[in-house]
Amino acid sequence: MFDVVHGDGRFVSLRRSSRENERWNVEIGDGATTGMVVDRLAVEWVRAEDGSVSFGQHGLIFTLVALWRGYKGPSMNWLKWLLHPPETEVIDFSGGELPEPDPAAEAEYERMLAEFAAAGAPLDGHPAERIQANPDPYAPLLVDWLERSEHHKHWILQLLAVVPDPPGLTEALLREFGRFELPEHWRWSVGNALHDLNRTDLAPRLLPLATDPRQGMAAQMALIALGRARYAPALEPLIERLDDPELEGHAAEALRKLGDPAALPALEAMAPRSEFGRTARQRAIRALRR
């Protein structure tokens, strides 16, 4: 099943209950039925007249579209999975759970559309495809709006994902990651984006932000980024987070990637409370003993 992390009438951010790291950000269209295809996978959703939305994945038609859009199976397992997908997961939002569009969010959206259009970078239609085809006029505006926006940050971050190396993005993300007044789920997405940049040179600036106690679970992916960067000063802060129920698994993962056997005693003494924490601990101990 899915948890609704965020919903404002235009966008719904979903997280699968079983996977703390995975979020799906879905734009709810105006049509009765709409959907999107990402590579081989598909999601579909239906918005009823009463405003309720039902959401499913792996619908047959969308799977066929995914096939048509170029699935080339590298593995029989994937083909098997694709042709016999797991039971469709459906989430039903009652009208109350999915609020009516927020006038402030709508107004901001309109302002954004107008500003982009004036700069010769229209956002209507299929913006991701437009941006991919001609990213230059979009990049500075998207980076600017990432910080200015109060209501559409997730969408802007998604759009930025199709821009190759947008100027100023790294600095904007670091600033956003340090804005502790912003919701935790947004800062988690920012930490994840910083992780995805895979920039080892950012580690000295990431460490104080990721280990600030106000960060909470938003620190998860940034901790892994510190381990992946093999940033030695992160050793002790990561060990300290093995006791944090929200961060224990990510801290253990980070320590495995950091690769310093000095973490072994702490990992051996660790008492994980989550499945992920236990797996990450076992992997880290084995890797550091090699």
Partner 1 sequence: MSVDITYSGATVGSERVADEWERIEVAFGPERVERLEDSGLDIGWDDESLTLSMPAGQDKATDKLFGKLADTVAVELGRAFDWDVDDA
Comparing CB distances to partner 1, the nearer of 17 and 75 is 75
Least separation, in Å, of the C-beta of 76 and partner 1? 7
Provide, rounded to whole angstroms, the least separation between the CB of residue 102 and partner 1.
Answer: 26
Q: Which is nearer to partner 1, 41 or 46 (CB)?
A: 41
Task: Report in angstroms how near the CB of residue 107 gets to partner 1 at its nearest.
Answer: 31
Beta strands 23-27 and 33-38, pairing class: unpaired
Q: Least Å distance between CB 35 and partner 1? A: 12
Question: Residue 15 has what DSSP assignment?
Answer: E
**Residue nearer to partner 1 on the CB measure, 53 or 225:** 225
Q: Of the two residues 242 and 288, which places its CB atom closer to partner 1 in the complex?
A: 288
By the criterion CB under 8 A, which residues form the site for partner 1?
Answer: 19, 21-22, 24, 38-41, 43, 57, 72-78, 80-81, 84, 86-87, 198, 228, 257, 275-276, 278-279, 282-283, 286-287
Measured from the CB atom, the residue of 46 and 79 that comes closer to partner 1 is 79
Among candidate residues 274, 290, 280, the one with its CA nearest the CA of residue 20: 274
The rounded distance, in Å, linking the Cα atoms of 287 and 184 is 31
Closest CA to 93 of 207, 201, 11: 11
Would you state the structure tokens that stand for residue 149, as one six-digit string? 């926006």
Cβ at position 103, least distance to partner 1 in Å: 31
Reported as half-sphere exposure (CB side, CA atoms, 13 A), residue 39 has a value of 4
Q: Helices in 54-162 by DSSP H: which ranges? A: 60-68, 76-83, 103-118, 127-133, 139-148, 153-160
